[in-house]
Structure 1
């Protein structure tokens, strides 16, 4: 078939004004012809972006990927049965009277599912090595499917129902991709029909204001629709609109959706979403930058440098050994498959890595070189889920990542060490040689969890101080290997929670569940940190003060003021380790080995330390009564996601917790987590009673001192004196005394409320060598007194003061 959108056809169909200009002057005709050529070029560019380039279709990992694509497309072709209300019998998209909103959402979702299947078929038609490349029967089926969906449901006369996303993003994305892939086989009438439908559901007003569902990743997705509609329909105004509508995405925000100066990324107003919506945003921007580069519509907004900086400051901190941390992936943690090789946190991480590789093509060369080195390092270290074996990656994604791996000029970057706080989304990331950890919290601005569309109904306690950790060569399957469908949702590691039975979605949908608390955050010098959370339970009377002190080889965890009147027990979970389908890792308490077969809750009175072989050591300063159990738990993804597969998984868990009893009034706990420690290292730390001094562990303050590290830190829930520190108001204070006679004092206002603060350190200080503008006065001598001005506008950021010790 000849191209229905030939240069001559373009001039004849752009309207009377365009035709008039063409007749008026040869110059105008030449300009119009050039524009037509440019649309063709853009279409070819997009085709390359979604199909990939510079890969060997007969070599792995591409050969098997393409073969599987052909198999899947063949199955879709054989089962496609156009009928009223459906294109496939298992994807009915209309019901005149759905019983519930959720049912209506489901029907609208089948529209995007149907287009996605057509896109798979079109990709199999266009890609080499699928066994269906250029297949006439497949081509006919694709076009039949496009026309059927247009005639049945996705057209300019339909009023949308169910989920807005399906109509404005979920359906037009694959539809426009198919239009690009099948362009030369479609008639002008068909293309006009399809883009008319897109115009109906995604009008220019969809990006008229930066609000509602048109922010962050959603805005990027909408701009992709408008840009591709402009390319397919040869409409320069649509591409211009799409390009210009990206600009509100780039600047830093101080509330709501978007990127924050501290590296936080929020979507849905209150949900940390770096790993899910953030991945969509960076991937979508990379695609649009690449599409428009070198065209008449390049993205030149100088604020795009903020996005480039965010690769290092927002995304890289949450990638570890190829996975992206679950606590910045919202309800996406409930999305899994029945294929055990599909490890969700690694899958999301791999997608971000591919997006970074693509984004680098349009970034400054220094940024691109640094990112490729980071990507190569992540790929090399992902032993648990090798990147190029990831069946969820697209062929273009695989091609980009393989190109990085094969580039001998790129030297892989090692995992960095250090600490990053993200107060704007109540998250922390601690990295040490051999391991990394992350803490997730909730406050007035950040939800406990997100539940919606039937996804993640039991994520209630994921914001209750959950402490994640991974080893460099061990433990990477902790959250990857069917953790979320099998773990006890009341016993998430690091959390304090009431055993009160909660209904699915307790607290409300779409992040409605937020605690009425302000003191959540911490202070860090970039290496170590003090972090605290004033915790109130989800749909519960539970209250607690929780602190974490992140050190060189460990994290000291304190809890105090634990009270509840739910009429149920309350627990603080020291650990809940997923040992896999067959794991029987040895568990030792105070040198005594425990059974390797499942056993019920056992109490260990006065325990000094415990150890899980191949994982970590746990020290209980001064001794503590703890409980532990080894059990098998079974669940399926459908238990936590209405759209998930029903395949059951069984996993072995080893759980350690502090039991505060029923309705505690002043519960406490203290323990030291030592990732990767041996039994000898764990027992030695427990025996070294001078290593740690707990300065306070009350409802008013929590603090510690580690003399060997020169480390002192106090979370002042209220003003007061702890050890040698006195604060006039709530604050987080962390001090590191160095061997060169200097000290760094880190102070923050986690409440974002203090208009003044006075801090006194009962330590001789001879001079202050640096201080931020928030310090209005500093008095040195036999003690140090710092007076701070208004801290409420610092967004919880750490204020660093460097002094010379007396």
Structure 2
């Protein structure tokens, strides 16, 4: 039987004494604090508690050894580079548009040295404790310091490379190789860090020093302090974390509704948010029990956010692309063809590991709940099992393996229900066996983010893109080369002008926000009414779009669709990625359509459609829908200038409503039934009484489903729809229960209402609970609710519970 490699065993190779990460008590005496913190950081970045001879660790360590061997063999120090394929000397740093690439190569050079240092320290590599490798690492550090990263250098290109990427990797190497580095050389490396990351980098919570970036800067300062035995630096890093914790009401950070924003206008829970969560977990663990433990009571906001902000966007191990910004375009790399393609699952797995790590600093109850959540996500990730993730860090791999093997942890199922995130124009919904997410844009939230040559064609991801996944199927829908091969003008759920847009149209870093402020909705936590006043990117297109999220259905309405671009306008009902083979059967009104590629047809008077293995679609009253099967070519380089040029091909089945060229007041209506069989789809289409469309105009959109006791109305302007009258623009949904109660959920998506009156012509005996914003209520044969100032509610739903008469 193989004896697991102890932490003491492999950390001794890198010097120092191994340290348990027990966080409950002060772990060490003051005289040993910096040495102990170095040992703790080694444990955090190398991993602990795993058997290097057992899978998945044996293969991962062997792969690391192979990669390290390749890096060592190809290292060739020269003026302007440490590796020939990573030239960092910028010939003209003031004007050269390639400056970002050169600075990125410098960053990557340090990252490769970090890989070599890990290979030197970890067991099962084939290079553990190798003297030649040690000398190569030292030579590489010296070369980068003398040639590019030193106090006399002025930075160029991307600030991130100089202040976060390179110094983090450099400091990790210094910790791992601490006893192998001459004191004067270490001092020189730290002086370089001081030059590029001075204390002033965290003096103001603004610019590039907010949210995830601030946490990354604090990591640099903390490690610089540990390595240089500077208590002041470590204290500065700890204290500079505090502005990250409180809820914000604008700009970067966490919002009370669970939103997370970075770059001022970009929903970023799944990318920068992942970095922030992981960074805080590391720093909380590093400093626990020390003189610099993070004790700010506001850190509880971060703990609360695990379930409030991150969990809603994780589905069966993936993190939803609608909150990943430009990271969705990072697939295969041109510079490093051996790098694994990123996707929503590979972005989600580090969040799972970060939650496990953060749980060590949280309460016992929180830690137990989070481990149960993580175990459930892991067990249901059949498409991309986390323990087989080829890029997940070894420490995260060990953490997730620990959760999987922990018999005391019982996996929990995905919770059904709806979550609205008005501060970032996003929504998520979970029904039995499926999940969905909605991406919108408004005057505060960008259409999309491009920058650094990334995500060049994400133009319409904020135009009402409706993502959905099954519980045990279709979880690779957006993972399998979706973004480089999908038609960017036909993203599912969107209404779009076919006006040709330039790559990166609208400007970098989330600069393009539409002048629209009615975006949001109302929810009781189970169902919802959501709406978007759509204004197209660099287009005259305007539309009113509504989604009513129910138990097994999303009702989708569009109205007021008007455009004068001189181009066609389309609403994409669906655009399913069917992979390289594309074999899903397609049925329309009971007739199976051709399976070959390419194929297209105009479906006149279509009542329903079904994609085998995916779900159903119903068109109330019939509709003219265009359908096509096409095989689309694309490459990552088409959407990301750093992407590989390899041509990929995927098969798509698309349905869309063609509103014609320059439509005026066009409309649409359809139902999405995720996971439905053809029989259930046919039955829903045949049930003319299941759904009543109360309104679908430029003024109001609303539906009622009597069997569910559901009524939802988006009032773009005040008026009357069915039994509801609103004095002003608002979103309303009502859910009547069999027990004689009802919940009236109301919101002011525009954030302008200082008063609002809602009348429901329904007998109500009493109001049993209400928010503080409710100023008056009149019951009887009709219910009249008078709300006071809603401008401070930030679009959040106001829920009133009543007893029906």
Which TM-score applies when normalising by structure 1? 0.95
Deviation at 1:343, TM superposition (A): 5.3
Deviation at 1:646, TM superposition (A): 2.1
CA distance in 2, matches of 1:340, 1:744: 51
Q: Aligned to 1:178, which of 148, 173, 178?
A: 173
Q: Aligned to 2:319, which of 324, 336, 341?
A: 324
Contact 1:588/1:594, CA 8 A, preserved across alignment: yes
Counterparts in 2 of 1:595-614, with a 5 A limit?
Answer: 595-614=594-613
| Corresponding residue number in structure 2 for 1:52 | 47
Unaligned runs of 5+ in 1: 7-32
| Corresponding residue number in structure 2 for 1:505 | 504
CA distance in 1, matches of 2:120, 2:254: 39
Contact 2:523/2:745, CA 8 A, preserved across alignment: yes
Deviation at 1:599, TM superposition (A): 3.0
Q: Does 1:124 align with 2:133?
A: no
Deviation at 1:600, TM superposition (A): 3.8
Q: Does 1:586 align with 2:581?
A: no
SS at match of 1:143: helix
Q: Does 1:706 align with 2:705?
A: yes
CA distance in 1, matches of 2:112, 2:64: 11
Q: Does 1:257 align with 2:252?
A: yes
Contact 1:36/1:234, CA 8 A, preserved across alignment: no
Unaligned runs of 5+ in 2: 1-11, 17-27
Aligned residues: 779
| Corresponding residue number in structure 2 for 1:94 | 89
CA distance in 1, matches of 2:123, 2:373: 31
CA distance in 2, matches of 1:795, 1:511: 21
CA distance in 2, matches of 1:745, 1:191: 64
Q: Aligned to 2:74, which of 67, 72, 79?
A: 79
SS at match of 1:448: coil
Contact 1:341/1:385, CA 8 A, preserved across alignment: no
CA distance in 2, matches of 1:136, 1:210: 44
SS at match of 2:626: strand
Relative distance call for 1:341 and 1:89 in structure 2 (3 A) is closer
CA distance in 2, matches of 1:200, 1:151: 14
Q: What are the Cα deviations for residues 223-267 of structure 1, in whole angstroms up to 9, with x where unaligned? A: 000000011111111000000100000000011000001000000
Contact 1:616/1:678, CA 8 A, preserved across alignment: yes
Counterparts in 2 of 1:258-273, with a 5 A limit?
Answer: 258-273=253-268
Deviation at 1:502, TM superposition (A): 0.2
Deviation at 1:647, TM superposition (A): 2.1
Q: What are the Cα deviations for residues 523-553 of structure 1, in whole angstroms up to 9, with x where unaligned? A: 0000000000000000100000000000011
Q: Does 1:109 align with 2:108?
A: no
Contact 1:478/1:578, CA 8 A, preserved across alignment: yes
Deviation at 1:767, TM superposition (A): 1.4
Relative distance call for 1:707 and 1:515 in structure 2 (3 A) is same
Contact 2:88/2:104, CA 8 A, preserved across alignment: yes
| Corresponding residue number in structure 2 for 1:563 | 562
SS at match of 1:793: helix
Relative distance call for 1:177 and 1:340 in structure 2 (3 A) is closer
| Corresponding residue number in structure 1 for 2:797 | 798
Contact 1:377/1:412, CA 8 A, preserved across alignment: yes
| Corresponding residue number in structure 2 for 1:9 | none
Deviation at 1:740, TM superposition (A): 1.3
**Which 4+ stretches in 1 moved above 4 angstroms?**
2-6, 33-36, 98-101, 338-343
Deviation at 1:483, TM superposition (A): 0.4
Which TM-score applies when normalising by structure 2? 0.95
SS at match of 1:544: strand
SS at match of 1:713: strand
Q: What are the Cα deviations for residues 268-326 of structure 1, in whole angstroms up to 9, with x where unaligned? A: 00100000000000000000011001111100000000000000100011100000000
Deviation at 1:35, TM superposition (A): 4.3
Contact 1:576/1:653, CA 8 A, preserved across alignment: yes
| Corresponding residue number in structure 2 for 1:479 | 478
Contact 1:4/1:188, CA 8 A, preserved across alignment: no
Q: Does 1:144 align with 2:143?
A: no
CA distance in 1, matches of 2:351, 2:499: 38
Relative distance call for 1:4 and 1:281 in structure 2 (3 A) is closer
Contact 2:13/2:128, CA 8 A, preserved across alignment: no
CA distance in 2, matches of 1:638, 1:279: 25
Which segment drifts farther, 131-140 or 554-563?
131-140
| Corresponding residue number in structure 1 for 2:7 | none
Contact 1:343/1:481, CA 8 A, preserved across alignment: no
Contact 1:342/1:390, CA 8 A, preserved across alignment: no
Deviation at 1:626, TM superposition (A): 0.3
Q: Does 1:333 align with 2:332?
A: no
SS at match of 1:362: coil
CA distance in 2, matches of 1:803, 1:518: 30
Contact 2:724/2:760, CA 8 A, preserved across alignment: yes
CA distance in 2, matches of 1:509, 1:219: 21
Contact 2:14/2:176, CA 8 A, preserved across alignment: no
Q: Does 1:217 align with 2:216?
A: no
Q: Does 1:410 align with 2:405?
A: no
Contact 2:330/2:341, CA 8 A, preserved across alignment: no
Counterparts in 2 of 1:352-371, with a 5 A limit?
Answer: 352-371=351-370
| Corresponding residue number in structure 1 for 2:774 | 775
Output the aligned Cα RMSD.
1.5
CA distance in 2, matches of 1:413, 1:521: 30
